[in-house]
Structure 1
Amino acid sequence: MTTNTPLSRLAYAPTVASSPIKPILRKPTASVLGTRSRADDSDGADEEEHPMKRQKKTVVFNENLNMVREISGKSFEDAKREVRQALEGKARGDEQDYDNLKDLFAPSNRNSSPDEDEEDPRHQELLGYVVALTGYVPMLGRSCTGLVRSVLRCSWLDRDENFAKAYIQLLAALSSVQASFFAEILRMVVEKFLETKSPSAVPGFPPVDLETRKKRLHVGIKYLLDLFPAGSKMIIKLVTSKFPYTDEPKAVHMSYIDHLLRLKTSRPDLERDIMELILAQLVKLDVEMTLDLENDEDDTTRAVMRSIQTDAKDDQEDDESDDESVMSDDDDLPEETKRVIKIKNKLETLDAIMDLVFSIYDPIFEKPDSDEAVACFENLLSDFKNVILPHLKSRHTQYLLFKFAMKSDQLMEMFLGLLLSVAFSSTEAPVIKQAAAAYLASFTARGARVQSHTVQLIVSCLLDYIDYYRETHRHCRGPDVRRYSLYYASFQGLLYIFCFRWRDLLDQGALPDNVDWDDPASFLGQDLPWMPDLKKRMHANIASKLNPLKCCSPVIVEEFAQLSHHLGLMYIYPQIEKNKSIHLSQFYTGSYAQGGALRDTGFEFDNEKWTHLEACFPFDPFQLPIARRWLDLENNYVTWSPISVLRKPGGEATDEDEEEEDSDEEGSEEESEMGEEELEDREELFEEDTATDDERAD
């Protein structure tokens, strides 16, 4: 059977000289498959003694059929006859020739001696049997699955280009016979995505470099998918299932993604599926890294960051041999060191993939308001909603949206519009809405190109929502972070935005003359013109039964309390002191209230830390040293300015500051025990991004 789809994109020579095909399914001493023994064939002996006298013919590729039409005359006919008789014998129950045919396609023993390789005819003459088997593919039924699998194990990428072309034709012919064969073929080619180096050369053929192997592989994939378009869905399922595990070396991940990008180029109809798959795996790795760092001791985290920053400064290329040498010595290392190496390797993998993905999208957004850029950003928004948003622990992948949303007002409005619609949707799951609220607050607070009027618009939307929610639940028993999670997430987002963008919440046209916008200290002691009803509406919520200051993160509440007091917005310390006597467990409405056992809740009421909303904001400082070069953080990112910048000129604390510090020192015993941990959390949330790389390393 032949195929008729052109393979003209292959740069194969149209002809190639070939030696005669010797029958090799059985020993030549017996004329079993229509061949004579050499002892009885004097002409054959003469040909051995006088090779130049033998009749030579060349391999001719018929451009219409894209097939090897003739190989060395009679010898090719012998190969066809041997293949046919082997298949017919299999049908009769005689499997000797069939088994020999399977062995013929099996990968050769590359550890054999050169003399043995030269004497083995399979290395040079397998091409004839590939072409012959292509013609008899219709004879292959389900009983010949073993032969097909043997064919698929053949080292076809490591031979010459003519062999690769003929082999691709064989794969196409096999695919047309049975769907199961086609599935096996696609599985074989996808498994080769995991190869990171070229195997040793096939005896009789020069070594083939990795790039050539990749090109041949993807020429074959494109040819098969052009012939059988239904294979597109099959190959997407395969590349998804075969994607490397997160603990695989960086080289394996990068090679696999390179194959996916080549597949995307040759099959544009698969672009959306492939990019979504890459982002999904990137998020998976990102979330796993975040959890690893959260669960580790601070010393381990700092060791990992120092190590990866040192490697980035050295700017040395990592090769596979280095990875293998490190992993081979793991058994001799302390457990803590192994842990650092494992996390560091994952961080490097995450960094390399993020850098690659940035490089893919960046050229598209050179003209951010073009139709192409807008369409691409719409696809990114779809991937964000489906893949990134459900995983709030992701720390880096979402910066794809951050970077490109900063390119133009149109793209920024598209991103903010999506976050608003999801956060306040009536159909989305609560956890998704809470994540969207966190993204909305974090992007508004951290995006340097988010204009003041946009900041006020977002704050107004959040105020409208919490006012509506407060009014709807005015008869509630009290604060309950599990039951009213979206309310607390929205209020905490307001506090977070205020801490970073308080100047944008002022009526800039009504500012006092002696206020300098670039000097935060100049705002102290002034009667500042805040946006309408900001103070009134926030105070109404703070004093409500929902009591958001009790449920929001203590770190963020404390920072807001200091800023709002120094800036004259409101004084909330009395409410904070009052909240110390409130135990949130009394308002908990879990399974116990519905008749379940108290132990089933899984919480310890003596420790109320679980009742506070987690301070998780997606655009916290970006830590990957290589990929961060794409972000232009100096111009696009708002860094945290601590409360010290609002002290009186000269750096001296005011009497009020000293009184507050004394009051803090006289807090309850429980608060003092938690003080150190809260301080560390506060540094992580608000001060980490102000340090330079050298300071972090120190």
Structure 2
Amino acid sequence: MPSLVIGADTTSMQVATPRGKHAGPAAVVAHTAKNIRPILKTSAQVLGKRRMSDDEDTMDELNTDALSGARKRQKVEFDLNNIEVHEIGVRTVDEIKTEIRKALEGHERGDDEEYDILKDTLSGKQVLRHDDIEDGDPSIPEKRRQELKIYLVALASFAPQLGRSSSGLVKSVLQCEWLGRDDQFAKIYVQFLAALVSAQGSCLNPVLTMIVDKFSAARVSDWSVPNFPPVNKQLVQRRLHLALQYLLSVFPAAKTVLGHVVAQKYPFHDDSKRMHLAYVDNMLRLREYAPSLKNEIMDLIVSRLVKIDVEMQMDLEDMDDRVTAMVAMALKSSQENNLEDADDDDDSDAESVDSEESEEDNEYARVKTAKESIEKMDYILDALFRLYTPHFADPDSDDAMDVFTDLLGEFSHIILPNLKSRHTQFLIFHFGQQSEQLMDAFCGTCINIAFESSRPPVLQQAASAYLASFVARGAHVPGHIVVKIFEVLGFHLDQMRTNYEATCRGPDVRRYAPFYSLMQALMYIYCFRWQDLVRSVPEDVDRDDLASYLDQDLEWEPEIREVLRRNIYSKLNPLKVCSPAIVEQFAKLAHRFRFLYVYPLLESNKRVRLSQFSAGAYSSGNALRDLAFDLNDESWQQLDSYFPFDPYQLPVSKHWVEGDYLPWRSITGLDDDDDDDDDDVDSDNEDDLDEENGIEEDTATDDEEGVDN
């Protein structure tokens, strides 16, 4: 597709997306947050800059005698006399030091008998000696378990010797299950890790990897140690993050390594819901004491969330009605039984799907996969809504703008390029409606992406669709913003038409996709927000009675009618290319409101074959539509009705967006027009505008009452 040259200077309307450093598709982010300009207000406003305060060390709980002063020393030193472990085992620290020294020396000589025993001991495996058995003291096994503390204290003094030749021993220590033991053991273990990393820098990555590996642990069996009292999930998380926070405070360089580790260890998309939720919860805890990783963590969570979102949407689209009904039933059953809270229960739902019956019938496996994907999406989004909400208590504050700037960055380089994303974008939809300042920022960002000729056409079209969907569907978007956006889009539509008409032979979605997507966006806004585009009405019109507007002489905002007329009747013939469902609804409303009468054009378009104007044998793929085509079916040369803010149907997190969404409002008597020979669309199908490329009625994520009753 040739490069699009916008005739107008759009710089005054650009709101650049933040975090331009991200490697998004083809320069998704072109400016920094410093260059952000509002489009809806005349006064210059600059988005708040992200405030990156230094990490604050809040290590009170680890600031015991054993850890006193450690934060102030780059090289960790331990006062072993302050750890009173001499009397809990069978032997003293000096005796165990001698044992460790002999094992390491023997390993250097190639004699690994004592070395292997030491590895087993340090991995947490209980080792009884012959003299213990002969002694017959019943307290010996317990003392041996407690003696592991002395081993760790003693081994810390050998940290400089635990180089590459002792990697097996270090690996054994890192395999030790320390979270399920007592508090004293956990503190000693963390001290040892700090000593190890201080002496052996190469151990930093495996130490951090061991800790981050625990982020996915969510059940008691994941950390329990035989013969030790059970440790609850809250205490495990506390120990885990105190350890990580301590290491980060002692070794600031660990933050860079940690960023790579958390990305590497993120659960795979097909891992269980329990693992995903536990990992995300721990990531959100991590960002509280590692602000330098805050944006990296959120980008990671959102990007993985979008992947689940897209895969879930594609799976649901491939299912027939019977299978989607089974998914809906499984979700309902899960909610009724509160399975999301059963962290310590067995995977009963997985077992039911993995039975012999389900192996013979692939439908059960598909139902399980879809159900788990929906629940992952639902609970992670619920956590993100909960995380961000306090920052918008005052939506006009600098804090709210800072957080929203980050959300805009995630939207621009992660959400926007994924056209199948179905629910993740509602974060920006919800928080973007909290104030006009935030609406301004989001609308400006979309306009910046939609009308910069350097952007890939697919992103330009997506940005137009997002802008139109936000303005049309946002219940809190005031009428004056609707009018302003309509005027801005109309201005750019005229500029595109002027540029394209000189070489246009007829409607061609491949050559002029940005024009058609923008025209479709304007019709979509008109269908939902026509009442805001009316400047004045006759006295007998009741603004609360939509039917009273029909067949009235309404005064519209200046230029709105003429802008649409000029472009609808241009050589580009957008009503032939835009989605038939949107064109039909627009034609019906425009006629009954005496706005435009386009039915003669629609009738003549029936005799127009798009293939005669097509620039190639098939589409380039730049339009937002299904690329499968049939020469006898022109639908492949038309735009899909892609508008990303379809009704939100995830059952748990849905409550966050209740009241944010403007549903389709049917108008009594709209179809009662005998003069309209092309107006045979059944009134029951008016909700077609609610099904744009999304989950339709009676699917897994719908409530019992369907979409937009």
Please give the range of the TM-score, normalised by the shorter of the 2 chains. 0.7 to 0.9
Asked whether the equivalents of residues 542 and 549 of structure 1 are also in contact (C-alpha less than 8 Å), the reply is yes
The match for 1:300 among 312, 323, 326 is: 323
Cα offset, 1:186, TM superposition: 0.9
Structure-2 separation of matches of 1:389 and 1:688: 18
Asked whether the equivalents of residues 642 and 687 of structure 1 are also in contact (C-alpha less than 8 Å), the reply is no
The amino acid that maps onto 2:349 is V
Three-state SS of the structure 2 residue aligned to 1:507 is strand
Q: Deviations over 1:216-248 (max 9, x none)?
A: 121111111112212112212211122122332
Matched, 1:502 2:516: no
Structure-2 separation of matches of 1:558 and 1:576: 9
Aligned match of 1:672:
none
Q: 1:203 to 1:638 in 2, by over 3 A?
A: closer
How is 1:147-226 mapped onto 2 (pairs within 5 angstroms)? 147-199=169-221, 201-226=224-249
Q: 1:205 to 1:307 in 2, by over 3 A?
A: closer
Higher relative contact order (CA 8 A, sep 6+): 2
The match for 2:96 among 79, 83, 105 is: 79
The amino acid that maps onto 1:68 is L
Q: Deviations over 1:95-140 (max 9, x none)?
A: 2222221121124279xx9999954864121111111110011112
Aligned match of 2:567:
541
The match for 1:396 among 412, 419, 423 is: 423
Cα offset, 1:253, TM superposition: 1.3
Cα offset, 1:362, TM superposition: 0.9
Q: 1:201 to 1:389 in 2, by over 3 A?
A: closer
Q: Deviations over 1:496-526 (max 9, x none)?
A: 0010011111113xx2111111111111221
Asked whether the equivalents of residues 159 and 195 of structure 2 are also in contact (C-alpha less than 8 Å), the reply is yes
Matched, 1:565 2:565: no
Structure-2 separation of matches of 1:492 and 1:466: 11
- Structure 1 window deviating more from structure 2 (622-631 vs 204-213): it is 204-213
Cα offset, 1:345, TM superposition: 2.1
Structure-1 separation of matches of 2:289 and 2:694: 47
Asked whether the equivalents of residues 561 and 572 of structure 1 are also in contact (C-alpha less than 8 Å), the reply is yes
Cα offset, 1:393, TM superposition: 1.7
Three-state SS of the structure 1 residue aligned to 2:179 is helix
Asked whether the equivalents of residues 219 and 344 of structure 2 are also in contact (C-alpha less than 8 Å), the reply is no
Aligned match of 2:519:
491
How is 1:35-114 mapped onto 2 (pairs within 5 angstroms)? 65-69=77-81, 71-72=85-86, 75-108=92-125
Q: 1:289 to 1:214 in 2, by over 3 A?
A: same
Aligned match of 1:232:
255
The match for 1:656 among 668, 675, 697 is: 675
Aligned match of 1:429:
456
Q: Deviations over 1:15-67 (max 9, x none)?
A: xxxxxxxxxxxxxxxxxxxxxxxxxxxxxxxxxxxxxxxxxxxxx88777554
Matched, 1:620 2:624: no
Q: Deviations over 1:440-486 (max 9, x none)?
A: 00011011222222111111111111211111111223222233221
Aligned match of 2:60:
9
Cα offset, 1:642, TM superposition: 3.0
Aligned match of 1:470:
497
Aligned match of 1:37:
none
Asked whether the equivalents of residues 86 and 150 of structure 2 are also in contact (C-alpha less than 8 Å), the reply is no
Q: 1:204 to 1:85 in 2, by over 3 A?
A: same
TM-score by length of 2: 0.80
Q: 1:485 to 1:87 in 2, by over 3 A?
A: same
Q: 1:61 to 1:567 in 2, by over 3 A?
A: closer
Q: Deviations over 1:644-663 (max 9, x none)?
A: 4535xxxxx34225x4457x
Cα offset, 1:679, TM superposition: 8.4
Q: Deviations over 1:232-272 (max 9, x none)?
A: 12212211122122332222111111111221122222222
Asked whether the equivalents of residues 549 and 593 of structure 2 are also in contact (C-alpha less than 8 Å), the reply is yes
Q: 1:329 to 1:308 in 2, by over 3 A?
A: closer
Structure-1 separation of matches of 2:568 and 2:469: 21
Q: 1:301 to 1:80 in 2, by over 3 A?
A: same
Asked whether the equivalents of residues 639 and 690 of structure 1 are also in contact (C-alpha less than 8 Å), the reply is no
TM-score by length of 1: 0.81
Structure-2 separation of matches of 1:518 and 1:680: 21
Structure-1 separation of matches of 2:319 and 2:628: 23
The amino acid that maps onto 1:695 is E
Aligned match of 2:557:
531
How is 1:228-627 mapped onto 2 (pairs within 5 angstroms)? 228-305=251-328, 307-309=330-332, 311-312=334-335, 318-320=341-343, 324-330=347-353, 331=355, 332-333=357-358, 334-474=361-501, 475-508=503-536, 511-590=537-616, 603-627=629-653
Structure-2 separation of matches of 1:278 and 1:265: 15
Q: 1:683 to 1:183 in 2, by over 3 A?
A: closer
Q: 1:517 to 1:217 in 2, by over 3 A?
A: same
The amino acid that maps onto 1:246 is H
Where structure 2 has 5 or more consecutive residues not aligned to the other structure, the ranges are 1-56, 71-76, 128-132, 621-626
CA-atom RMSD, angstroms? Answer: 3.4
Cα offset, 1:317, TM superposition: 5.0
Structure-2 separation of matches of 1:308 and 1:602: 32
Structure-1 separation of matches of 2:678 and 2:696: 26
Asked whether the equivalents of residues 553 and 613 of structure 1 are also in contact (C-alpha less than 8 Å), the reply is yes
Structure-2 separation of matches of 1:392 and 1:588: 24
Structure having the higher helix fraction is 1
Q: 1:519 to 1:168 in 2, by over 3 A?
A: same
**Percent of pairs identical after alignment?**
42
Asked whether the equivalents of residues 444 and 455 of structure 1 are also in contact (C-alpha less than 8 Å), the reply is yes
Q: 1:463 to 1:593 in 2, by over 3 A?
A: closer
Asked whether the equivalents of residues 646 and 691 of structure 2 are also in contact (C-alpha less than 8 Å), the reply is no
Q: 1:565 to 1:313 in 2, by over 3 A?
A: farther
Greater CA radius of gyration, 1 or 2? 1
- Structure 1 window deviating more from structure 2 (235-244 vs 579-588): it is 579-588
Where structure 1 has 5 or more consecutive residues not aligned to the other structure, the ranges are 1-5, 15-59, 595-600, 648-652, 666-674
Structure-1 separation of matches of 2:306 and 2:619: 37
